């Protein structure tokens, strides 16, 4: 079954110029070389007005919506009016439109600054929505988009593709890998459908929402970061030894040297989460259990290890 990706771009008069055409071109090039390229049709609409969005939804029937342009947070995303000037569309308006197409839209990507506000609203109706928690630069936005669609083109799930896109930002030497945030529709029911486009790995239907192999949430990663700092394992003198113990080559981590203990811990956990290295995170939990043998932290670490489901 083919999926249609609709890319909407807008860079109105008077706004900061963006490399939107490059982003579209790079996404298309990645999908053209993907092993599952026959499963995707890419459609692009530029200089988009609100009316154009409605018509494109009716005419194209996309499975994935990708917006690239400016965002302003609470005030909305920036589209164009009839003369090419900026026109804001707020969260409620976008969420209301996408709700009408909730049965066909599998994922929405809002690749614009401060678009997490809109992502939260749209995620009330759409299973997977990606927004930006703060301003994001052109380079980071392009790296994320290319990584995200490269992963989808390889047959990976939306959740993996989000992590892969974040890892692509980091690998590009850009410290904005935490900006793209993935939102999921609340109360999706007792089952979760993992979206995948691989012929070898078809979508998994009716998978238990709380299997033993669950995704770590923000709270889990905050706990690991805090305990890593408290344990002393994030201190400069201990960093190399920690990396070796968890199976990571220290020289591959540019942040191992010039960073505070707090920054190193945050970067390490974010990096491992971004590349989906559950085995390394599991080993960090085991290291931390040596320090925090009793009390709530020990219990927290055991819960995280169970989620990781590593042997």
pLDDT given for residue 147 in this prediction: 94
How many other CB atoms are there within 10 angstroms of residue 129's CB atom?
A: 29
Asked if pLDDT for residue 5 goes beyond 80, the answer is: yes
Pairing verdict, β 86-89 and 77-80: antiparallel
pLDDT given for residue 188 in this prediction: 60
pTM confidence score: 0.65
pLDDT range class, residue 194, cuts 50, 70, 90: very low
Q: How far apart are CA 301 and CA 311, in angstroms?
A: 15
pLDDT range class, residue 309, cuts 50, 70, 90: confident
Contact of 71 with 132, CB cutoff 8 Å: yes
Lowest mean pLDDT among 105-109, 112-116, 251-255, 261-265: 251-255
User: Which H, E and C letters describe the chain, residue by residue?
Assistant: CCEEEEEEEECCECCCCCCHHHHHHHHHHHHHHCCCHHHEEEEEECCCCHHHHHHHHHHHCCCEEEEEECECHHHCEEEECCCCEEEEECHHHHHHHHHHCCCCCCEEEEECCCCHHHHHHHCCCCCEEEEECCCCCHHHHHHHHHHHHHHHHCCCCHHHHHHHHHHHHHHCCCCCCCCEEEEECCCCCCEEEECCCCCCCCCEEEEECCCCCCCCCHHHHHHHHHHHHHHCCCCHHHHHHHHHHCCCCHHHCHHHCCCCHHHHHHHHHHHHHHCCCHHHHHHHHHHHHHHCCCCHHHHHHHHHHHHHCCC
Note the pLDDT tens digit of each residue in 55-87. 999 999 999 999 999 999 999 999 999 999 999
pLDDT range class, residue 36, cuts 50, 70, 90: confident
Kindly report the CATH number that applies to the domain delimited by 3-208.
3.40.50.1460
Note the pLDDT tens digit of each residue in 248-287. 888 777 778 766 888 888 888 888 887 888 899 999 999 9
């Amino acid at each position: 079954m083919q999926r249609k990706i609709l890319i909407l771009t807008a860079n109105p008069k008077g706004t900061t110029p963006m490399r939107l055409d490059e982003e579209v071109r790079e996404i298309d090039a990645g999908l053209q070389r993907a092993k599952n390229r026959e499963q995707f049709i890419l459609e692009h609409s530029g200089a988009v007005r609100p009316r154009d969005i409605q018509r494109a939804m009716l005419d194209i029937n996309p499975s994935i919506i990708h917006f690239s342009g400016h965002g302003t947070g609470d005030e909305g995303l920036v589209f164009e009016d009839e003369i090419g000037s900026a026109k804001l569309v707020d969260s409620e308006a976008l969420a209301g439109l996408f709700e009408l197409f909730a049965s066909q839209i599998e994922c929405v990507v809002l690749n614009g600054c401060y678009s997490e506000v809109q992502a939260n609203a749209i995620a009330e109706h759409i299973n997977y929505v990606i927004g930006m928690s703060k301003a994001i630069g052109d380079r980071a936005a392009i790296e994320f988009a290319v990584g995200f669609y490269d992963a989808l083109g390889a047959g990976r799930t939306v959740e993996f593709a989000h992590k892969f896109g974040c890892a692509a930002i980091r690998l590009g030497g850009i410290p904005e890998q935490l900006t793209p945030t993935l939102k999921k529709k609340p109360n999706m029911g007792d089952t979760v459908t993992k979206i995948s486009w691989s012929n070898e790995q078809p979508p998994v239907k009716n998978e238990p929402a709380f299997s033993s192999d669950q995704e770590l949430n923000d709270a889990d990663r905050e706990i690991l970061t805090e305990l890593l700092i408290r344990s002393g394992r994030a201190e400069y003198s201990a960093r190399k030894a920690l990396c070796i113990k968890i199976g990571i080559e220290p020289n591959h981590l540019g942040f191992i040297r010039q960073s505070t203990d707090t920054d190193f811990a945050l970067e390490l956990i974010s990096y491992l989460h971004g590349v989906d290295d559950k085995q390394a995170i599991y080993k960090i939990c085991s290291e931390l259990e040596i320090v925090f043998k009793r009390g709530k932290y020990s219990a927290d670490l055991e819960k995280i290890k169970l989620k990781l489901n590593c042997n």
